[in-house]
Structure 1
Amino acid sequence: MAVLKANAYGHGLVTIAQHLNDADAFAVARIDEALALRAGGLTKPIVLLEGFFDEADLPILLANNFQTIIHDENQLAALENAQLEAPINCWLKINTGMHRLGIAPEQFDEFYNRLQKTANANNTVNLMTHFSCADDVDSSKTMQQIALFNRLAENVEQAHCLSNSAGILAWPSGHGDWVRPGLMLYGVSPMANTTGKTYQLEPVMRLTTKVIAVRNVAAHEAVGYSGRWQSDKPTQLAVVAMGYGDGYPRHARAGTPVIINKQRYGIVGSVAMDMITLDIGNNTHNIKVGDEVTMWGPELPVEEIAQCADTIPYELLCNITPRVSYQYQR
């Protein structure tokens, strides 16, 4: 079940889906994402990971063959009370320790039996949960969640879905019948202090821009907003067309690397809305206006940039803004 929420983690919802021929189903967070996939010609099953938000959504789910998570009483009651021409495929989500969405373990029998009885739900009610600490291989929490889920589901012969990307990589006993690759699908590691390369994953995205100026800076001249950086000796700066207006992290610290002409250079000064400055020293590699700059990509893992900005790669990928143009290559 390929997870495509948040514009396919910033990669382009419909285009990415059109290339995932081996996926058995797609998963999104919200109905507008699912509708965009259908409008793009995608016919595979689509699961709404947050379920529906309003009873009025149910005819839309039915008409477009969307599958829904049921995670609370309001959703279940709305489904039972709806006037539908045919049943909807449902997944019952159990809270095994994430404490976000999902029914309590003690509610399982009641909810499952009600879903079996209502004419508005297909008799095949699959089961799902979500891990809270799967990226921490030293934590016992994931095994506790797996054990609780298995205990509840042991007498239910329906498909089980437990594992997100971290669960797939680190907890094989939790793979179940379906898995939900999200971040790892795009070649990025969900595990702390690792990169996709650790797991033989190939990054899908390369974020690039161009050098728009090269300038000399005298010793002790303050650079950028608030003059937060200055060199202790004369140097050269490259100014690149990238900033938080494109989704690059504003809090990337000094020294965060980029690549120009196969060489690494560090960010200096504040990341602005549209521009970033780099200290290129005496410019021995002859950097010039128009040279391509890699902000992250296969040779510069987004996981490394996330660490430099005290955040996670999920946020960097999802924060790419609409003014960034997309070019796809196979």
Structure 2
Amino acid sequence: MRPLVAHIDLDALRHNYRLACEAAPDSRAVAVIKADAYGHGALACARALSRAAKPAPAFAVACLEEAVALREGSVKAPIMLLEGIFEAAELEQVDALGLWLAVHSQWQVDALLAFAPRAPITVWLKVDSGMHRLGFPPPLVPAVWSRLAAAKEHVTQLHLMSHFATADSADERYLQEQMRCLQALAEQLQAPSCLANSPATLGWPVTHGAWNRPGVMLYGSDPLEVPNALSRRLEPVMTLRSRIIAVRELDAGEPVGYGGRWRASRPSRIGVVACGYGDGYDRHARDGTPVLVDGRRAPLAGKVSMDMLTVDITDHPVADIGSEVVLWGRADNGAVLSVDEVARYCDTISYTLLTGVLPRVPRRYHGAFCE
């Protein structure tokens, strides 16, 4: 069988969740597992976090389809719909499945208050504090809050929610501007809040509310522009691992790959690796993008193809057909190649690499409670 596999370390996932809890000991942490847990497998990750010594009290997904898949997989913890409903008819399943609901638009509020749930629904009122994506403008929030709070047969456990635009940055000016707005609203309404994403959880204690929403940090990616003592303790959850399937001996000046972008500057050995953009590896990876060959760094040489990529193993004389290649994650010898570093070489972010690993790459799960 093709040697490319995404290995998922569920013990590392639980470690990173504990780190999120340690960073904000007075908050509860909703584990964000949208986009199939950032490519790691939402059901497996939810089950692992549900069975931890300190289980995740709730999960967050983007849409109803993702929540249904978790419920069908016997995940019983509360599940938050971060984008709420997309049409009023979805409220039937929200009610039946006992989901938590974000509301960010007036039509969603109207639909909720026109619906008769079997039990009142936990609601998260989203504020546009400066991201300018979803949410009510701050001046409108008190009236919407009052309307929801008065609807006791429809709504229970009402919270404020918002999202930060620059929490990953070392420049805190815009984050502080957003926080002034949100703190004023929370104090006016005496409202519990859910504000902090991964970078805010790790780097900005002022943002910690009754609830936080750690996402990409759970999977071992450092979301901070400048790492801190907490973010350096994150452990990679996904290791994308393959093997060398062929070796080519080239004279100086010979090209490799489509367009001949890379040319050998010396007599060179090129390892052909079973992994390409058809698997989700970024085609924009530059020459020099690192991989680990038998636990040692080696550079990408030439454009990524659909099913293969090529690396320069001239300085790895022992490397040969069958040698382990780690595209990101942890090698067998313990060496780690961060997905964040690989993303920088691809002019992208770790989120796109992790969520971009395609279904033809099998996931293999490791760690306690692995099924």
Normalising by the smaller structure, the TM-score range is over 0.9
The residue correspondences of 1:249-268 to structure 2 (distance < 5 A) are 249-268=282-301
CA shift for structure 1 position 219: 2.1
Rate the CA distance shift 1:165–1:63 in 2: closer, same or farther, 3 A.
same
Report if aligned partners of 1:131, 1:142 keep a CA contact under 8 Å in 2: yes
Report if aligned partners of 2:142, 2:189 keep a CA contact under 8 Å in 1: no
Q: Which amino acid in 2 is paired with 1:290?
A: G
Report if aligned partners of 1:235, 1:281 keep a CA contact under 8 Å in 2: yes
CA distance in 2, matches of 1:288, 1:28: 43
Report if aligned partners of 1:188, 1:303 keep a CA contact under 8 Å in 2: yes
CA shift for structure 1 position 155: 3.5
Identity %: 44
Partner residue, 2:31: 2
Report if aligned partners of 1:249, 1:309 keep a CA contact under 8 Å in 2: yes
CA shift for structure 1 position 126: 1.1
Q: Which amino acid in 1 is paired with 2:220?
A: G
Partner residue, 2:44: 15
Q: Deviations over 1:22-51 (max 9, x none)?
A: 211000111111111111111000000000
2:119 pairs with 1:86: yes
2:140 pairs with 1:103: no
Report if aligned partners of 1:194, 1:303 keep a CA contact under 8 Å in 2: no
CA shift for structure 1 position 235: 1.1
CA distance in 1, matches of 2:100, 2:118: 15
In the alignment, structure 2 segments of 5+ residues that lack a partner are 1-29, 331-335
CA distance in 1, matches of 2:183, 2:315: 62
Partner residue, 1:289: 321
What secondary structure is seen at the aligned counterpart in 2 of 1:68?
A: strand
CA shift for structure 1 position 283: 4.3
Q: Which amino acid in 2 is paired with 1:262?
A: G
Larger RCO of the pair (alpha carbons < 8 Å, separation 6+): 2
Q: Deviations over 1:40-94 (max 9, x none)?
A: 1110000000001010000100000111101011111111222433322111011
Partner residue, 1:325: 362
CA shift for structure 1 position 154: 0.7
Partner residue, 2:238: 205
CA distance in 1, matches of 2:81, 2:173: 29
Report if aligned partners of 2:224, 2:231 keep a CA contact under 8 Å in 1: no
In the alignment, structure 1 segments of 5+ residues that lack a partner are none
The residue correspondences of 1:145-294 to structure 2 (distance < 5 A) are 145-192=178-225, 194=227, 198-281=231-314, 283-284=316-317, 286-294=318-326
Q: Which amino acid in 2 is paired with 1:263?
A: R
Partner residue, 1:308: 345
* TM-score after normalising by structure 2: 0.85
Aligned length: 329
What secondary structure is seen at the aligned counterpart in 2 of 1:131?
A: coil
CA distance in 1, matches of 2:230, 2:129: 31
CA shift for structure 1 position 247: 1.0
CA distance in 2, matches of 1:242, 1:313: 17
Q: Which moved more, 1:171-180 or 1:188-197?
A: 188-197
CA distance in 2, matches of 1:259, 1:123: 51
CA distance in 2, matches of 1:6, 1:279: 34
CA distance in 2, matches of 1:195, 1:262: 26
CA shift for structure 1 position 127: 1.1
* TM-score after normalising by structure 1: 0.96
Rate the CA distance shift 1:197–1:317 in 2: closer, same or farther, 3 A.
farther
Q: Deviations over 1:163-191 (max 9, x none)?
A: 00011111101101101110111111111
Partner residue, 1:69: 102
Report if aligned partners of 1:188, 1:195 keep a CA contact under 8 Å in 2: no
Report if aligned partners of 2:169, 2:226 keep a CA contact under 8 Å in 1: no
Report if aligned partners of 1:184, 1:196 keep a CA contact under 8 Å in 2: no
Report if aligned partners of 1:265, 1:280 keep a CA contact under 8 Å in 2: yes
Q: Which amino acid in 1 is paired with 2:319?
A: I
Report if aligned partners of 1:218, 1:235 keep a CA contact under 8 Å in 2: yes
Which of residues 65, 69, 80 in structure 2 aligns to 1:47? 80
